[in-house]
């Protein structure tokens, strides 16, 4: 997966015309969504619902007692006062710990589009007691088992339903970058992620939510949901693209310190 894939400009334009960003572009109506998954089978106390006006918008992961990691396109147009979080609950609208936002830091590569940089840090207005998730030292090679989790509608077309309250999960794996070339994947900084299940993967937008590697109870964060890996506007018809959080370790560490 650690290799850069070139894409013809005509294919990139097709992806944009279908409403998906082949590189770092703002995505409308960001939120979280797992198509083809099931209810969460364990507690993910570091999982967060990033919210606007009291409604779930995107996923996020607590990586420090006062910082969460999410996708840049979820927050690039938002002021801290626009956002709130619920952390450590399997339902996005109850339980867990609520927090406001004091700072939003979007990676400079996203705003300059060199290459993608769809990753952002959000500082909470107070420290929380939930245990953060550790970022892995590196993401695994092609074929590595992984898991994605999130809230959202469970049907594969934009606008087809309302997001469920219950957190969802899906078993996935790291796929060759060649399977995501229609989305202009950048191999060194992104992960192509597929599922063995038919029409099952992330979707509009599982945005900001985590990709995990490891075992139940011992997960490490490797990816942040970015976009579909194909211009076809039906979720699960191709692998999805995740920002490789492990490639941004230095930026994350310097920002939160």
Give me the catalytic one of 61, 207, 226, 240: 207
Continuous H helices in the chain: 9-17, 72-75, 108-112, 249-256
68's tokens: 């969460």
Give me the catalytic one of 57, 73, 177, 186: 73
Let me know if 207 is a catalytic residue: yes
Longest CA pairwise span in the chain (Å): 49
- Is residue 206 within 8 A of residue 34, CB to CB? The reply is yes
Give me the catalytic one of 109, 118, 186, 206: 118
- Is residue 197 within 8 A of residue 36, CB to CB? The reply is yes
Which of left, alpha, beta for 112 (phi over 0: left; psi -120 to 50: alpha)?
A: alpha
Angle (CA) 27 2 214, round 5° = 80
- Is residue 209 within 8 A of residue 59, CB to CB? The reply is yes
Q: Which residues contact 257 (CB under 8 A, 6 or more apart)?
A: none
Task: Report the candidate in 18, 251, 2 with the shortest Cα–Cα distance to residue 135.
Answer: 251
* Positions marked active-site: 73, 118, 207
């Amino acid at each position: 997966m650690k290799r850069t894939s070139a894409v013809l400009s005509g294919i990139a334009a097709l992806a944009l015309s279908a409403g998906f960003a082949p590189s770092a572009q703002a995505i409308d109506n960001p939120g979280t969504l797992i198509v083809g998954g099931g209810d969460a089978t364990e507690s993910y106390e570091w999982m967060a619902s990033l919210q606007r006006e009291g409604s779930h918008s995107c996923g996020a992961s607590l990586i420090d007692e006062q910082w969460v990691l999410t996708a840049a396109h979820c927050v690039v147009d938002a002021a801290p006062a626009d956002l709130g979080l619920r952390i450590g609950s399997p339902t996005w609208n109850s339980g867990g710990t609520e927090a406001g936002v004091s700072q939003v830091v979007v990676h400079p590569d996203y705003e300059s589009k060199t290459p993608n940089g769809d990753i952002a840090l959000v500082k909470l207005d107070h420290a929380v007691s939930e245990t953060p998730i550790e970022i892995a030292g590196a993401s695994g090679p092609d074929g590595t088992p992984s898991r994605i989790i999130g809230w959202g509608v469970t049907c594969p077309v934009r606008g087809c339903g309302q997001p469920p309250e219950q957190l969802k999960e899906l078993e996935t794996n790291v796929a060759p970058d060649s399977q995501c070339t229609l989305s202009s994947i950048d191999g060194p900084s992104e992960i192509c992620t597929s599922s063995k299940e038919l029409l099952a993967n992330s979707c509009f937008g599982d945005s900001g939510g985590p990709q995990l590697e490891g075992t139940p109870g011992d997960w490490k964060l490797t990816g942040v949901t970015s976009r579909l890996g194909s211009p076809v506007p039906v979720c699960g018809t191709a692998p999805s693209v995740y920002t490789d959080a492990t490639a941004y370790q230095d930026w994350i560490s310097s920002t939160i310190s």
